[in-house]
């Protein structure tokens, strides 16, 4: 079932009519031509069989029911029967409005069947042809342009005088009104009476309703020709509001046809209006009824008329009634396919098909400009057909609104675009077509007269650009041709010498014919097959502008929005308007520094006011300063346009943010929020999606403020970007200021120079976004948005917490004299702690364990800063590890352990896990070191301190991962080695100072030995800690010496001595590393001197502390000297007692030799550090094999 697409004034008529008929498809016309018709809509009653009149019936006498409505015929009876009055000048527009889906796409022609018949008869007929042609997309609309009627009107109103003058100059200099003959009216009257006689049935005659008088024609009504004249609309009758389509009926834009048919003739698709009466009866379900004068044979023109009428209406048979002087003679039945072969009326259906294809090709090739009115004209008796562009001719002479077709065309362009917009998501390839339809519509409209359509068209144009898909390039979606303004113009220019389409006049034509767009030199050409076969394919969609970036796309959108806003503003009543603003004067963008902004406290007040206002929006309070009436089209349209501009500015801001143009990003988000502010002022109730969008704007604003805070070094450049304004932006702001002050979001969008203020503003933006999600219950519908806002809140609170923590650390370093913690520091700690705590809650609420762990880690760091602030500064001799320090270090440890618990296991986030472990290890290590170095002996016993230090050191070791390969591994190894070294030193010290408990002493000795060996192993792995390695080895030597002192037997002492010497020999690697660094340093100095660079000799390599090396070297030499001397003494005494042992003699000899060399070397004070190290390495080299051998021998 074909659906009715009723629009405008036609709708009520359709509602009363019966259901549209099933679109039966019947192929007629024989094998030469293909024709099918689908009835899209019919208001005719069910077909009644016609009454066959008796012979000798006198048709001059009126029947009883003449010109009266019949129950069987329905309300349109008088129209159906015999009233073949001329079609209205806008009949095709009425149909186009009703079947808007067909226009612009799949239909080639929309017209009255009478116009189509007239066109197809051009080569056979001498009568004149005058038609208006309009292009909408790929569809042509054809309407009769009754020149006589127009010029009669012109004489009365003064309209169209330009066309009258043009017509008289060019075509008919002695134009005068031609009256129709009495014969014409006589024939019309008897046809009307014949059709009324033919109604089968005896329905009681009803009085004719007064409204149907308009249908009476000719002498019957006694009004002569005036009554039959179509009503021409005045040029300016179209109402400004499209919402009330009642105005369409005033324009004659009503679809008055009894049936609308989608007729396909060969490959031409036409939407045709027909009023032909159709009756039932005969062998077929439908016949058409014709009346013929028996004395006049049927000519070709009549035959073509009958044949085309039956094809268009899908009628298979024709019933012809013959009469002589109005007296019925006989009836004859003729099949539709036999009509072309009737006697005296032979014509070729193939030729008709060629004519149709040629005319369509000629019109499509030349009527290329959408919105223009073309005039197809053939003078009576002439063979030349001309096509003029009336729009261009009119614009040369007068106002374009003198053309009464301007408004109907503009509205049809608009409606077709609207219809396509409803389906825009189905197919993006139509975007170019929609855009062209709207641009051409706008060209025809005047802002003063049609602000609503202009505003709406501009809004639709802005809607075509996808702001929510900024990453996609339009070039992938749309064909890349640059012809964006002229839609369906052909892809190739017509060649001037083209005979194919005869579009150019030759020199024999009258001189003024250069006004014609195209000319058919002879109507005979139309019968030649494919004479006008257009080589130009009409593009199904036209070019959409290729935007090469987000900014370009947004700027186009804003341009259309601005045009729309201008239309709305110009139509709002001027009372209560703002003083006229000069668009060339920039609106100052307020710039505040910290001296005026009042810092975070002031922010709190502004924030409270903002949230209060947001609450009032929810309650439905709204006000417009310009006096727009809520619910009016201006009000609705301005809301839509403002929201669109807000989205465009948001996308621009986001794009600038990606490009790191933070000043520009802030300016755009300020404009977006100003648009939003105005929207809020106007809007009675906020839609959820608008509130979600506001959250996105505030979130982006928070991001921008944070980036501005983090990039303070570029502040001057950002300020310049922020203060720049385009003329377009200024004009949009002027339009916004008509409705509100646009200051609600000022707190969020000002560019501050104060870091703390910027961070606070950023935080407030996120908080505002969160509040909106909370009080508008959008949290659950937009979980992603909710998570993003909370994540950002956690992040900014971390940033602010770190900011305050760093400030506290800075204050602490400056505090020298005062030993007490200042209140400023305590305030900063509190602020920092509170920010971290809130941030942790934010992250925990969205189960973000990693970020929660990082904030717990930062809180731990804050606790360590507090601990450092509490260390006493009364001089090192009195310094003790205070209970406050212990408290804060333990708090720090708690936070680090919480962070580890939050993560759960390493594979959640290895980097964060390792970082927390490192910080925890450092805290334990620092605490143990402080306790060891500044033992709180006034409060605790030595043993307890040692126990606590030992425990803390072991915990530090537990969290110090020496095995995992990472950038931090050398640090961990160094830390572990240092811990072992410190523990060994501590146990060594205990052993020295302890008296009594032998078991405890033994335990300490074992632990010291264990930790020394572990420290040595770890320091050996590191290539950059030779001094530390040396120190540990020297302490081990001292440890051996201490043990030796308590030994009594010579063998025991010797064993310990050789062990100590072995330790010394193993330091060879460390000395080699030191030598390597000293050589490298010497090379560098000589290189610098050779290149004449002024380098001071003190610039030693950063990796080596020479003082430390000298100190350690002196100790090493003295200990080595001592050990060698002791070994010589012991070896000599044992040799005397027990006689010669070969191995020991060798050792003794070597030791003496080395000792002698060492004494000489140490006696020489002029040697350099490098030379001393060379000596030591040489001596160690000599000791190596002997020590190992002797050691083996002794054991």
Chain centroid to CA 1024: 55
Contacts of 353 (CB under 8 A, 6+ apart): 32, 33, 265, 266
pLDDT digit string, tens, across residues 68-80: 766 555 444 454 4
Compute CA distances 1045 → 151, 1031, 1054, 1126, 1189, whole Å. 139, 21, 12, 12, 25
Cα-trace Rg, the chain: 52
The encoded tokens of residue 628 equal 């727009």
Residue 1170 in contact with residue 1100, Cβ under 8 Å?
no
* Alpha-helix residue ranges (DSSP H) falling in 329-448: 349-366, 390-397, 406-422, 431-444
- Dihedral (CA of 678, 680, 683, 687) sign: positive
Please report, for the chain, how many H helices and E strands are present, in that order: 39, 13
- Which residue carries 């560098």 as its tokens? 1084
Contacts of 730 (CB under 8 A, 6+ apart): 583, 584, 585, 586, 587
- Dihedral (CA of 1139, 1142, 1143, 1144) sign: positive
Bridge partners (DSSP) listed for residue 135: 140
- Characterize the bridge pairing of strands 109-112 and 327-335: unpaired
User: Residue 347 and residue 917: Cα distance in Å, rounded?
Assistant: 101
Q: Max CA-CA distance within the chain?
A: 176
User: Residue 388 and residue 376: Cα distance in Å, rounded?
Assistant: 7
Contacts of 1066 (CB under 8 A, 6+ apart): 1016, 1033
User: Residue 353 and residue 308: Cα distance in Å, rounded?
Assistant: 11
The encoded tokens of residue 1000 equal 């405890």
Compute CA distances 747 → 287, 424, 602, whole Å. 80, 39, 9
DSSP 76: T
- Characterize the bridge pairing of strands 287-293 and 278-279: antiparallel
- Which residue carries 């045009």 as its tokens? 563
User: Residue 911 and residue 962: Cα distance in Å, rounded?
Assistant: 15
- Which residue carries 């009324």 as its tokens? 196
Bridge partners (DSSP) listed for residue 290: 320
- Which residue carries 């096509």 as its tokens? 387
Phi, psi (degrees; rounded to nearest 5) at 782: -125, 65
Q: Considering the entire predicted model, what is its pTM?
A: 0.73
Question: Hey, which bits of 716-827 come out as E strands?
Answer: none
Residue 800 in contact with residue 837, Cβ under 8 Å?
no
User: Residue 243 and residue 563: Cα distance in Å, rounded?
Assistant: 20
The encoded tokens of residue 682 equal 């106007």
From 116, 85, 96, select the one nearest 10 (Cα to Cα): 96
Q: How many angstroms separate the first and last alpha carbons of the chain?
A: 115
From 341, 149, 386, select the one nearest 252 (Cα to Cα): 149
The encoded tokens of residue 1191 equal 């050691």
**What is the DSSP track for 801-825?**
HHHHHHHHHHHHHH--S--SPPHHH
**What is the DSSP track for 247-273?**
HHHHTT-----SEEEEEEETTEEEEEE
pLDDT digit string, tens, across residues 340-356: 988 888 888 888 888 89
User: Residue 950 and residue 956: Cα distance in Å, rounded?
Assistant: 10
Residue 505 in contact with residue 513, Cβ under 8 Å?
yes
The whole-number pLDDT of residue 544 equals: 60
User: Residue 527 and residue 351: Cα distance in Å, rounded?
Assistant: 6
Contacts of 802 (CB under 8 A, 6+ apart): 832, 858
Q: Is 318 helix (H, G, I), strand (E, B) or coil?
A: strand
User: Residue 1110 and residue 1114: Cα distance in Å, rounded?
Assistant: 6
Bridge partners (DSSP) listed for residue 388: 375, 516
The encoded tokens of residue 611 equal 């949230």
DSSP 549: S
- Dihedral (CA of 1084, 1086, 1087, 1088) sign: positive
From 851, 692, 699, 676, select the one nearest 780 (Cα to Cα): 692
The whole-number pLDDT of residue 1118 equals: 84
Sheet holding 317-324, edge to edge: 278-279, 287-293, 317-324, 327-335
The encoded tokens of residue 116 equal 């189509």
The whole-number pLDDT of residue 609 equals: 63
Residue 263 in contact with residue 270, Cβ under 8 Å?
yes
Q: Which residue stretches of the chain have pLDDT < 50?
A: 1-26, 29, 74-77, 79-80, 82-85, 202-252, 470-512, 535-541, 574-581, 588-598, 617-621, 1093, 1095-1101, 1186-1195
Residue 482 in contact with residue 543, Cβ under 8 Å?
yes
């Amino acid at each position: 079932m074909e659906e009715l697409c009723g629009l405008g004034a036609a709708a009520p008529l359709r509602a009363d009519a019966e259901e549209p008929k099933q679109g039966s498809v019947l192929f007629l016309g024989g094998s030469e031509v293909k024709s099918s018709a689908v009835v899209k809509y019919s208001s005719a009653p069910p077909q009644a069989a016609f009454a066959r009149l008796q012979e000798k019936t006198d048709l001059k006498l009126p029947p009883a029911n003449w010109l009266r409505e019949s129950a069987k015929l329905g309300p349109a009876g008088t129209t159906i029967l015999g009233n073949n009055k001329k079609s209205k000048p806008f009949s095709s527009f009425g149909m186009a409005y009703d079947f808007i889906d067909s226009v612009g796409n799949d239909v080639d022609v929309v017209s009255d069947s009478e116009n189509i018949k007239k066109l197809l008869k051009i080569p056979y007929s001498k009568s004149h042809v005058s038609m208006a042609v309009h292009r909408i997309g790929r569809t042509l609309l054809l309407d009769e342009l009754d020149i006589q009627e127009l010029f009669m009107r012109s004489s009365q109103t003064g309209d169209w005088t330009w066309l009258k003058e043009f017509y008289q100059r060019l075509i008919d200099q002695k134009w005068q009104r031609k009256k129709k003959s009495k014969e014409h009216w006589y024939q019309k009257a008897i046809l009307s009476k014949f059709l009324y006689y033919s109604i089968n049935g005896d329905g009681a005659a009803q009085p004719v309703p007064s409204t149907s008088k308009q249908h009476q024609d000719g002498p019957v009504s006694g009004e002569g020709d005036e009554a039959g004249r179509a009503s021409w609309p005045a040029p300016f009758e179209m109402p400004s509001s499209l919402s009330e389509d009642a105005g369409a009926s005033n324009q004659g834009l009503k679809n008055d046809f009894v049936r609308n048919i989608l007729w396909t003739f060969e490959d031409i698709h036409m939407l045709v209006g027909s009023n032909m009466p159709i009756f039932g009866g005969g062998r077929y379900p439908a016949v058409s009824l014709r009346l013929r004068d028996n004395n006049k044979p049927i000519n070709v023109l009549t035959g073509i008329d009958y044949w085309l009428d039956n094809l268009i209406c899908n009628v298979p048979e024709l019933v012809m009634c013959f009469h002589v002087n109005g007296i019925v003679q006989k009836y004859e039945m003729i099949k539709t396919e036999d009509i072309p072969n009737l006697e005296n009326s032979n014509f070729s259906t193939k030729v008709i098909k060629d004519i149709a294809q040629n005319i369509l090709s000629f019109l499509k090739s030349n009527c290329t400009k959408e919105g223009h009115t073309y005039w197809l004209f053939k003078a009576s008796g002439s063979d030349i057909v001309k096509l003029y562009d009336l729009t261009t001719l009119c614009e040369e002479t007068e106002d374009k609104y003198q053309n009464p077709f301007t408004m109907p065309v503009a509205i049809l362009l608009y409606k077709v675009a609207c219809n396509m917009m409803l389906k825009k998501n189905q197919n993006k390839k139509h975007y170019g077509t929609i855009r062209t339809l709207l641009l051409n519509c706008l060209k025809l409209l005047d802002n003063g007269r049609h602000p609503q359509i202009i505003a709406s068209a501009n809004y639709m144009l802005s809607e075509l650009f996808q702001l929510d898909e900024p990453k996609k390039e339009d070039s992938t979606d749309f064909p890349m041709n640059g012809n964006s303004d002229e839609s369906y113009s052909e892809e190739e220019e017509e060649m001037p010498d083209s005979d194919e389409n005869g579009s150019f006049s030759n020199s024999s034509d009258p001189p003024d014919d250069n006004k014609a767009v195209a000319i058919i030199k002879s109507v005979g050409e139309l019968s030649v097959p494919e004479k006008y076969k257009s080589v130009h394919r009409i593009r199904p969609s036209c070019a959409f502008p290729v935007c090469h970036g987000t900014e370009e796309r947004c700027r186009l959108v804003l341009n259309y929005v601005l045009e729309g806003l201008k239309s709305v503003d110009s139509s709002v009543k001027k009372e209560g308007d703002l003083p006229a603003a000069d668009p060339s004067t920039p609106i100052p963008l307020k710039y505040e520094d910290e001296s005026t902004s009042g810092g975070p406290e002031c922010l709190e007040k502004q924030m409270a006011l903002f949230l209060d206002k947001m609450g009032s929006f929810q309650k439905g309070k709204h006000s417009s300063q310009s006096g727009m009436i809520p619910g009016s089209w201006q009000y609705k349209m301005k809301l839509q346009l403002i929201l669109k501009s807000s989205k465009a500015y948001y996308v621009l801001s986001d794009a600038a943010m990606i490009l790191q143009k933070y000043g520009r990003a802030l300016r755009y988000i300020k404009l977006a929020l100003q648009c939003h502010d105005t929207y809020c002022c106007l809007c009675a109730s906020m839609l959820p999606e608008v509130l979600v969008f506001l959250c996105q704007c505030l979130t982006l604003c928070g991001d921008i403020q944070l980036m501005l805070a983090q990039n303070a070094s570029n502040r001057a450049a950002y300020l310049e970007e922020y203060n720049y304004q385009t003329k377009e932006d200024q004009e949009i702001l002027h339009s916004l200021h008509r409705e509100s002050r646009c200051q609600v979001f000022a707190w969020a969008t000002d560019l501050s120079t104060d870091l703390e203020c910027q961070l606070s503003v950023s935080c407030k933006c996120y908080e505002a976004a969160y509040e909106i999600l909370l009080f508008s219950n959008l949290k659950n519908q937009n979980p992603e948005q909710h998570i993003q806002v909370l994540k950002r809140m956690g992040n900014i609170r971390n940033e602010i917490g770190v900011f305050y923590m760093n400030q506290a650390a800075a204050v602490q370093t400056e505090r020298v004299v005062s030993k007490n913690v200042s209140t400023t520091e305590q305030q900063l700690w509190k602020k920092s702690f509170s920010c971290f705590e809130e941030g942790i809650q934010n992250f925990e609420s969205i189960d973000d364990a990693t970020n929660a762990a990082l904030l717990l880690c930062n809180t731990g760091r804050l606790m360590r800063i507090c601990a450092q602030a509490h260390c006493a500064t009364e001089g090192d001799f009195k310094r003790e590890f205070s209970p406050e320090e212990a408290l804060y270090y333990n708090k720090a440890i708690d936070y680090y352990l919480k962070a580890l618990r939050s993560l759960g296991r390493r594979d959640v986030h290895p980097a964060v896990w390792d970082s927390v472990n490192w910080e925890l290890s450092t805290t334990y290590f620092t605490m143990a070191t402080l306790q060891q170095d500044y033992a709180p002996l006034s409060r605790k016993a030595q043993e307890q301190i040692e126990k606590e230090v030992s425990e803390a050191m072991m915990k530090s070791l537990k969290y110090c991962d020496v095995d995992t390969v990472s950038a931090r591994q050398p640090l961990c190894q160094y830390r572990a080695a240092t811990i072992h070294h410190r523990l060994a030193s501590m146990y060594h010290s205990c052993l020295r100072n302890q008296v009594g408990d032998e078991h405890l002493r033994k335990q300490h000795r074992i632990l010291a030995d264990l930790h020394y060996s572990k420290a040595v192993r770890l320091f050996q792995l590191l290539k950059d800690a030779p001094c530390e390695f040396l120190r540990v080895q020297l302490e081990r030597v001292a440890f051996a010496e201490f043990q030796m002192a308590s030994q009594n037997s010579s063998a025991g002492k010797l064993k310990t001595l050789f062990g100590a010497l072995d330790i010394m020999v193993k330091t060879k690697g460390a000395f080699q590393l030191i030598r390597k660094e000293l050589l490298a340093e010497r090379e560098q100095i000589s290189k610098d001197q050779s290149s004449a660079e002024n380098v001071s000799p003190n610039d030693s390599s950063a990796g080596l502390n020479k003082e430390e090396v000298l100190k350690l070297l002196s100790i090493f030499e003295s200990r080595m000297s001592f050990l060698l001397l002791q070994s010589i003494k012991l070896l000599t005494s044992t040799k005397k007692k027990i006689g010669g042992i070969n191995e020991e003699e060798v050792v003794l000899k070597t030791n003496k030799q080395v000792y002698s060399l060492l004494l000489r070397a140490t006696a020489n004070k002029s040697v350099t550090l490098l030379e001393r190290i060379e000596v030591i390495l040489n001596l160690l080299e000599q000791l190596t094999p002997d020590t190992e051998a002797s050691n083996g021998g002794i054991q």
